[in-house]
């Protein structure tokens, strides 16, 4: 009996050691990032993209887990240490990584976009919007981003203010750049999003 108990104990220790050394997988990183959002009460929804570990200055390589952008187009990202599994927000100066063209993502996600100078206006900008009107646009952007996430479109709807100071709703603004023109986005807007009137706007410097 004593021999049997010793054998069971050794087997459990061996299994535990192996399990602790298991490499962090994409679904582990995604879970860690979503758990962080819950703990910190960040209302970011579900993760939409997980990129394999990449360099982080002064740290181990880390998984980059992206969530739908904020209403102003700014990115929302959590980094998950590829060695320890620790999740946290990016350090100051961290450069958000983007999925290289032709490279598969580490976990199922909406198709990534290609950077470019275009945005798709889906609700015409108007001057002098009050808080109620801006709030409605923000809620509509969130609705469209949620729908996009669930139907294969990268969620980039946001409230956008143009050079004339008018505010509307657009797709493709990434905080400091637009996207490449892609008419499949127009098709999605019409057939999935119920957005009948859309137009592309070139943000290239004039």
Query: pLDDT in tens for each of the 206 residues of the chain?
Result: 555 544 544 454 444 444 444 567 778 888 899 999 999 999 888 887 888 888 998 888 999 998 888 877 788 999 999 888 999 999 988 888 876 544 444 433 445 578 899 999 999 999 989 989 988 999 898 888 888 877 778 888 999 888 889 999 999 988 888 999 988 899 989 888 888 899 999 998 87
- The SS3 assignment for 127 reads coil
Distance (Å, rounded) from C-alpha 189 to C-alpha 184? 9
- The SS3 assignment for 116 reads strand
Q: Do 134 and 126 touch, CB atoms closer than 8 A? A: no
- Output the pTM of the full model: 0.51
Q: Do 66 and 48 touch, CB atoms closer than 8 A? A: yes
Place of tokens 């100066």: 93
Backbone phi, then psi, for 89, in 5-degree steps? -75, 155
Distance (Å, rounded) from C-alpha 93 to C-alpha 106? 24
């Amino acid at each position: 009996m004593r021999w049997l108990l010793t054998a069971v104990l050794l087997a459990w220790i061996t299994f535990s050691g192996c399990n602790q050394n298991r490499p962090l997988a994409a679904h582990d990183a995604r879970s860690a990032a979503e758990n962080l959002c819950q703990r910190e009460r960040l209302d970011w929804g579900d993760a939409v993209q997980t990129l394999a570990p990449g360099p982080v200055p002064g740290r181990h390589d880390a998984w980059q887990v992206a969530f739908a952008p904020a209403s102003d187009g700014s990115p929302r990202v959590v980094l998950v240490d590829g060695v320890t599994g620790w999740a946290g927000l990016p350090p100051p100066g961290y450069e958000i990584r983007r999925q290289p063209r032709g490279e598969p993502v580490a976990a199922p996600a909406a198709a990534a976009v290609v950077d470019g100078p275009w945005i798709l206006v889906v609700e015409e900008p108007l001057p002098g919007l009050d808080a109620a009107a801006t709030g409605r646009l923000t809620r509509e952007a969130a609705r469209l981003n949620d729908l996009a996430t669930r139907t294969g479109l990268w969620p980039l709807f946001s409230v956008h203010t143009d050079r004339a100071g008018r505010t509307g709703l657009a797709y493709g603004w990434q905080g400091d750049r637009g996207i490449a023109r892609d008419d499949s986005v127009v098709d999605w807007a019409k057939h999935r999003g119920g957005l009948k009137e859309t137009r592309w706007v070139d943000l290239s410097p004039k």
